Amino acid sequence: MERNVRILGAPTDYGANRRGVDMGPSAIRYAGLAEELESAGVSPTDAGDLAVPHHATRDADAGAANAKHVQEVEEVTTSLADAVSTALAEGTTPLALGGDHSIAIGSLVGSARDADIGVIWFDAHGDFNTPSTSPSGNVHGMPLAAALGVGDFAGVEWANAAGLKEENVAIVGLRSVDGVEAEAIRDSDVTVYTMSDIDERGVTEVTNDALDVATAGTDGIHVSLDLDWLDPREAPGVGTPVRGGVTYREAHAAMELVARSEAMRSFELVEVNPILDQHNETATLATELAASALGKRIL
């Protein structure tokens, strides 16, 4: 049966510290997302973008202390959660396009609204900070902690993903983490595979292990792909690049394993910033990886 994918744009930079990532959805579409998905044998439908007021019209410090634009993040992610939940209820696979990684709060809340889910978090960063621990106050460094109800996010209804447990979360490719954030991750039941693990064991073995973690006792998984997971030489158009990431081929191998698992129920591509990109290279890479995650093969 042909898989139907619903594209949901979330053009927000509320959670980031560098402007331009709000143009990510447009850049990814322009790079040929629909055509790449069709080449993977899926049927894409573009639902357009969520309504997101420009950040300059809002007060970054109007909400909680040390959580910039948190009120706006709540608005956007609540809308995205509803859109993701609706897409799933209608039998389609939601593909959210960021925008910064704060949109993952909405993807996770929506995907876990009526199901028990696991998560694979392909990212250079842990995104496990809270307002109390964040050095910057940027919410794109907090979405995983928010969805799991860690620290300041405990009991925050709009941010907590009901059907998600720490033991079903796997972070893959971690190589940049803040001190207190690292302690919080170690104290949690989240499973972490650093870039050192990938170096030592290979991306296929690590991704298979992550899939085992995310699928254990769940109804399906959400895949969150931050383009800064890749090395900046492969994906230059990201706001927080960290050297030493995965290669082009390693990234495709991981996405191909995700497709082969047939466990993915929701997906997001985040942190593509065309202002920082070269010839839309990172957006093009995002489309190719999406196709691999949805079943595109060489043969």
Catalytic residue selected from 226, 231, 250, 268: 226
User: Residue 222 annotated as binding?
Assistant: no
123 counts as catalytic: yes
User: Residue 54 annotated as binding?
Assistant: no
CA separation for the pair 192, 123 (Å, rounded): 11
125 counts as catalytic: yes
226 counts as catalytic: yes
228 counts as catalytic: yes
Catalytic residue selected from 13, 22, 75, 125: 125
Q: Which of 141, 168, 249, 241 is nearest to 202 (CA)?
A: 249
User: Residue 46 annotated as binding?
Assistant: no
CA separation for the pair 23, 3 (Å, rounded): 27
54 counts as catalytic: no
Q: How far is CA 205 from CA 26, 250, 291, in A?
A: 34, 11, 21
Catalytic residue selected from 228, 234, 256, 277: 228
**If 0-12 CB within 10 Å is exposed, 13-18 middle and 19+ buried, where does residue 1 land?**
exposed
101 counts as catalytic: yes
CA separation for the pair 179, 80 (Å, rounded): 31
Catalytic residue selected from 13, 22, 74, 140: 140
The alpha-helical segments, DSSP class H, found in the chain are 24-30, 33-39, 70-89, 104-111, 143-148, 179-187, 195-201, 203-215, 248-261, 281-293
Q: Is 178 helix (H, G, I), strand (E, B) or coil?
A: coil
82 counts as catalytic: no
Residues paired with 76 in a beta bridge? none
CA separation for the pair 12, 103 (Å, rounded): 8
Q: Dihedral sign, CA of 65, 67, 73, 77?
A: negative
Lookup result for tokens 């609204």: 113
User: Residue 228 annotated as binding?
Assistant: yes
User: Residue 127 annotated as binding?
Assistant: yes
Catalytic residue selected from 13, 74, 100, 123: 123
Catalytic residue selected from 55, 69, 101, 252: 101
Residue type, 140: H
Contact between 132 and 151 (Cβ < 8 Å): yes
Catalytic residue selected from 13, 74, 75, 127: 127
CA separation for the pair 22, 9 (Å, rounded): 10
Give the CA count within 13 Å in the CB-facing half-sphere of 272: 32
152 counts as catalytic: no
Which residue numbers belong to the known binding site for Mn(2+)? 101, 123, 125, 127, 226, 228
Residue ranges of the binding site: 101, 123, 125, 127, 226, 228
Q: Among all residues, which ones are annotated catalytic?
A: 101, 123, 125, 127, 140, 226, 228, 271
